[in-house]
Amino acid sequence: MTSDRLQHFHGRLALPLIAAPMFLVSGVELMVAACRNGVIGSFPTANCRSTEQLDEWLTDIEARLRWHEDQTGRKAAPLCPNLIVHRSNARLEQDLAVLLHHRPEIVITSVGSPTTVLKPLHDVGALVLADVASIRHAERAAEAGADGLVLLTAGAGGQTGWLNPFAFVRAVRAFYDGIVVLAGGISDGHALRAAEVLGCDLGYMGTKFIATRESMADERHKQMLVDGSADDILLTTAFTGLQTSMLKPSILAAGLDPDDLPARGAIDVGKDIDVNARESRPERWRDIWSGGHSISGVTEVMEANDLVARTVAEYREAGGRLSP
């Protein structure tokens, strides 16, 4: 199932899949559920209110996964914290110290070069996967020594890239033989199998994990995904200054017109929103929600183990179609 680059995880993965790290969505319950079911669980360290809480989360998750392994005799899939390495992250040094203490098997770096954290993470045995949104970003991360690249392609939820996934993967594979992860548009096992055929080692699944019982997402966010389709996704720079895939219905509910948003990064949520449109002023990300093109594959809110089981069945079915 997995390539030679991931053989040390042999027998631990039910799928070559990462439950994508999602701001204000990925938490302890989702991580435990994903890893127990053979999916790499990833969460942004920024989801923790403090470095102390990050330590508590990791301790709790690790203990629960050890208990699961003791009960079942099966080792869980790896846990994979996601660290923002941009200079704007005031907690970078402190969060990194916590990760080094817990010695995660995999770490994903986002919003910048992984250069400053590569050596200390490698020293504790972690694989480092770097988020990249362009060919040049991929080249730089490869040159820095990243063990893998997460290709943010058109259709990924939240802050994303713009490149076609077919073109992006093949361009990267022309110069890089490390781990490649496809982020964007993977809504089922068929798409995951296609990513492998394309040359990827792993895929990201984010939007469908938002709509699980274990995710920390607002219940209205989950239902909006169930009710929506890819036509409800808007790519805009208005909220973060970066290309971001957002849900149009949540923008409308906040009193904004998705077809007439302010310029790049101009929205100051709480000032630019009609306060009469809601009982309380919405906050960026808490009331204006993201989603990816794979929203069209979200048909119900379900438990994470059921989502994984369904994806495994789809993945196997797709594999059968590839057989001679």
* Residue 265 scores a pLDDT above 70: no
pLDDT, one tens digit per residue, over 276-295 is: 333 344 455 578 899 999 99
List the end-to-end C-alpha distance of the chain, in Å, as a whole number.
Answer: 17
* Residue 21 scores a pLDDT above 60: yes
How high is the pLDDT of residue 174?
A: 97
Average pLDDT over residues 74-82: 96
Residue 241 banded pLDDT, cuts 50, 70, 90: confident
Residue 60 banded pLDDT, cuts 50, 70, 90: very high
How high is the pLDDT of residue 274?
A: 37
The share of the chain scoring above pLDDT 90, in percent, equals: 78
The share of the chain scoring above pLDDT 70, in percent, equals: 90
Average pLDDT over residues 79-96: 95
In angstroms, the CA 289 to CA 232 distance is 11
* Residue 271 scores a pLDDT above 50: no
Q: Output the pTM of the full model.
A: 0.91
How high is the pLDDT of residue 270?
A: 40
How high is the pLDDT of residue 45?
A: 96
Residue ranges covered by each domain of the chain? 4-215+300-322, 219-277
* Residue 249 scores a pLDDT above 70: yes
Report which of residues 288 and 107 the model is more confident about.
Answer: 107
Residue 240 banded pLDDT, cuts 50, 70, 90: confident
* Residue 238 scores a pLDDT above 90: no
How high is the pLDDT of residue 285?
A: 54
With CA atoms as reference, report the closest residue to 37 among 205, 161, 186, 149. 205
pLDDT, one tens digit per residue, over 160-212 is: 889 999 999 999 999 999 999 999 999 999 999 999 999 999 999 999 999 99
How high is the pLDDT of residue 281?
A: 42
How high is the pLDDT of residue 250?
A: 94
Q: What's the chain's Rg over C-alpha atoms?
A: 19
With CA atoms as reference, report the closest residue to 256 among 241, 238, 240, 242. 238
In angstroms, the CA 87 to CA 254 distance is 30
Half-sphere exposure of 85 (CA within 13 A, CB side): 21
Give φ, ψ of 216 to 5 degrees: -85, 5
Superfamily of domain 4-215+300-322: Aldolase class I (3.20.20.70)
The secondary structure of the chain, three-state, reads CCCHHHHHHCCCCCCCEEECCCCCCCCHHHHHHHHHCCCEEEEEHHHCCCHHHHHHHHHHHHHHHHHHHHHHCCCCCCEEEEEECCCCCCCHHHHHHHHHHHCCCEEEEECCCCHHHHHHHHHCCCEEEEEECCHHHHHHHHHHCCCEEEEECCCCCEECCCCCHHHHHHHHHCCCCCEEEEECCCCCHHHHHHHHHHCCCEEEECHHHHCECCCCCCHHHHHHHHHCCHHHEEEECCCCCCCEEEEHHHHHHCCCCCCCCCCCCCCCCCCCCCHHHCCCCCCECCCECECCHHHHHCCCCECHHHHHHHHHHHHHHHHHHHCC
* Residue 275 scores a pLDDT above 50: no
In angstroms, the CA 155 to CA 183 distance is 8
How high is the pLDDT of residue 6?
A: 82
Average pLDDT over residues 77-90: 94
Write the CA distances from 241 to 113, 200, 236, 260, 284, integer angstroms.
19, 29, 8, 16, 13
